[in-house]
Structure 1
Amino acid sequence: MNFVKMHGLGNDFIVCEEREAPENASELAVRLCDRHFGIGADGLVYILPSEAADAKMRIFNADGTEAEQCGNAVRCVAKYVWERNPGNGGDGQLTIETKGAGVQSVRVFTEAGKAVRVRVDMGKPVLTGLDIPTTIAADQVVNRTLEIGGHRFLFTAVSMGNPHCVIPVDDAAAFDVNYWGPKLERHEWFPNRTNVEFVTVERPDRAVMRVWERGAGQTLACGTGACAVLVAGVLGGTMARSGTVSLAGGDLHIEWDEETGRVFMTGEAEEVYKGRLIV
């Protein structure tokens, strides 16, 4: 199996181009993503043919579960596809089919023939409680109180093709993500589990975020999570519709367009190395 190790702001992936994902993809993800006995990654990504887009993406988390969507992986897939088929990209425009968010339009920005940044149309956020999904029947789940482990959190729920629980904290960079993340991920209000973002808004156009990803644990970055953070900030009146979300692995620029209701994410994608694995 040929693979490319890639990352988006440190959120890293084993990327394989195949005709179809193998039946044992979940098992492979667990084995290959292990950082001691495998290659090591947050997820295993398959780039597949698509009848609806330039490429199709399937992503399996490090625990073997299949994710509906991953913003950092989409940028990596766009870089991979464009650099290996630059003619298909034309002016840098590509489309990537995903499981949870359908076909996404991306624009690749290049320097010296290499894709250095990618802007992704992440679509419209889902805000209705039951559709995210949560167990809360409400048009919007904004600044709700959640009690767990003797502690109260305020949270806003957003889906960007996958579920997110956005929680404001005093100091996101110092917050104990590894303790609270897994508890909140599996809270009974989130029937499909959830990604959890701990965020400190420094000013309307800038927030600091740390993330616990469903199925992967604490990661250095989460693209859909950054989008959810800005959407939650706008809904809660703490953020503007365009701004920077600072993650442990770097910064993403997020914009929630008022006219179309669509969220746009711009950030880097990098290729680390290529390899061949006999599985």
Structure 2
Amino acid sequence: MIPFVKAHACGNDFLILEEEVARRQHAALARKLCSRNTSIGADGIEFLERRPNGELFLRLFNADGSEAELSGNGTRCVAAWLASSEGRDDVVLGTHGGPRVCHVVEDADPVYLIESEMGVPRVMPRTIEVPGVGNVVGAMVNVGNPHFVIFVDGDDFTAHGLAWQVLGAQISASSLFAHGTNVEFVKIVSESEIAFRIFERGCGPTTSSGTGTCASSAAAMALRSVNRELKAVAEGGAQRTVWLANDQTMRLTGPAEIICRGEVVGL
């Protein structure tokens, strides 16, 4: 039996497993346990490694078994679990996208409000050519993992005559991105608020994304002259981003909730 914890951040849900139970079967476990019809169901698994020197390191595997650099929401879910189970209000979590510092702002167990230091975003305007669509104007954004941000005007987030889910799937798997990319469709609501939708590499449309929130906010701040503090609203709810200057770390604040813990049959 494999012990697990399930948590979500604005509906973006993750399983948390200790690294020692993975037995080098990370991808297979992700594909099996994240299945929503035949297993627990989740957007991905965060494998938590406790290193001999006391460091904590996360490996994220998406529902399709692919490995990603990190997840902002997944990292926050792990921070919430460590706060709930071990009383850690401040924690540094290593990821393949760099370390992330998490601080519990509010504790109403099982719901936690957490601020995370998300690193320094890199924003580069880019026009790409999508077969059957033509030129798509957007921005490549790196926040420890890759994103392509497209600005839209309508409430339905369509772009180039296509539903955002359809265009997002095409761009996410495009050969223009060596390792795929996450795709966000961003609407500027006001100088202090954006709304967006996310097509995530490795799992498709999701209700929220921590790194997607940061990428969308960074692109809006850098290219649309909105405020350096934003309310960013996805289908699963709102998060807050603060990016005081282009060479400073972005801070992301949002909720994470522990759903359950249990055991599941292994492979």
Common fold by TM > 0.5 = yes
Which letter maps to 2:139?
T
Does the residue aligned with 1:19 lie in a helix, a strand or coil? helix
Percent identity between the two aligned chains:
31
- Secondary structure of the 2:20 match is coil
Which residue of structure 2 lines up, in the alignment, with residue 44 of structure 1?
Answer: 45
Question: Who is 1:108 aligned against?
Answer: 104
Q: Against the structure 1 CA distance between its residues 62 and 113, is the aligned structure 2 distance closer, same or farther, given a 3 Å change threshold?
A: closer
Distance 1:114 1:12, change over 3 A: closer
Q: Secondary structure at the match of 1:269?
A: strand
1 CA distance for matches of 2:154 and 2:127?
20
- Give the match for residue 152 of structure 2: 169
Match of 2:189 in 1: 202
CA-to-aligned-CA distance 1:148-179 (integer Å, 9 cap, x gap)? 42243211001111000000112254532321
Aligned alpha-carbon RMSD (Å): 1.9
Match of 1:190 among 166, 170, 177: 177
Aligned-residue offset at 1:113 = 5.8
User: Aligned partners of 2:239 and 2:54: how far apart in 1?
Assistant: 25
Q: Against the structure 1 CA distance between its residues 24 and 276, is the aligned structure 2 distance closer, same or farther, given a 3 Å change threshold?
A: same
**Correspondence for 1:233:** 220
**Aligned residues of 1:173 and 1:208 also touching (Cα < 8 A):** no
CA distance in 1, matches of 2:202, 2:155: 21
Aligned to 1:99: 96
What SS class does the counterpart of residue 123 from structure 1 fall into? coil
Is 1:172–1:209's contact at 8 Å kept on the other side of the alignment? no
* 1:52, distance to aligned residue in structure 2 (A): 6.6
Match of 1:149 in 2: 132
2: CA distance, partners of 1:172 / 1:146: 24
Q: Show the counterpart of 1:71.
A: 72
Q: For 1:112 and 1:167, how far apart are their aligned partners in 2?
A: 36
**Is the Cα–Cα contact under 8 Å of residues 229 and 240 in structure 2 kept in the other structure?**
yes
Q: Which one-letter code corresponds to 1:171 in the other structure?
A: G
Q: Which residue of 2 aligns with 1:275?
A: 262
Query: 1:160 aligned to 2:143?
Result: yes
Distance 1:80 1:182, change over 3 A: same
Give the stretch that moved more between structures: 233-242 or 194-203. 233-242
The structural deviation recorded for 1:93 is 1.8
1:132 maps to which residue? none
Deviation at 1:54, TM superposition (A): 4.9
Q: Which residue of 2 aligns with 1:136?
A: none
Query: Which 10-residue stretch deviates more, 69-78 or 13-22?
Result: 13-22
User: Hey, what's the Cα distance between the residues in 2 that align with 1:194 and 1:259?
Assistant: 22
CA contact (8 A) 2:157 2:197 kept: no
**Residue segments in structure 2 that go unaligned for 5+ positions in a row:** none
Q: List alignment gaps of at least 5 residues for structure 1.
A: 128-140
The Cα shift of 1:145 comes to 4.9
- Cα separation, partners in 2 of 1:93 and 1:71, compared to 1, 3 Å: same
Preserved contact between residue 8 and residue 14 of structure 2 (Cα < 8 Å):
yes
Distance 1:259 1:215, change over 3 A: closer
SS where residue 122 of structure 2 aligns?
coil
Q: How many residues align?
A: 261
Q: CA distance change for structure 1 residues 260 and 93 in 2, over 3 Å: closer, same or farther?
A: farther
Cα separation, partners in 2 of 1:145 and 1:235, compared to 1, 3 Å: farther
Contact kept, 8 Å, 1:146 with 1:155, in 2: the verdict is no
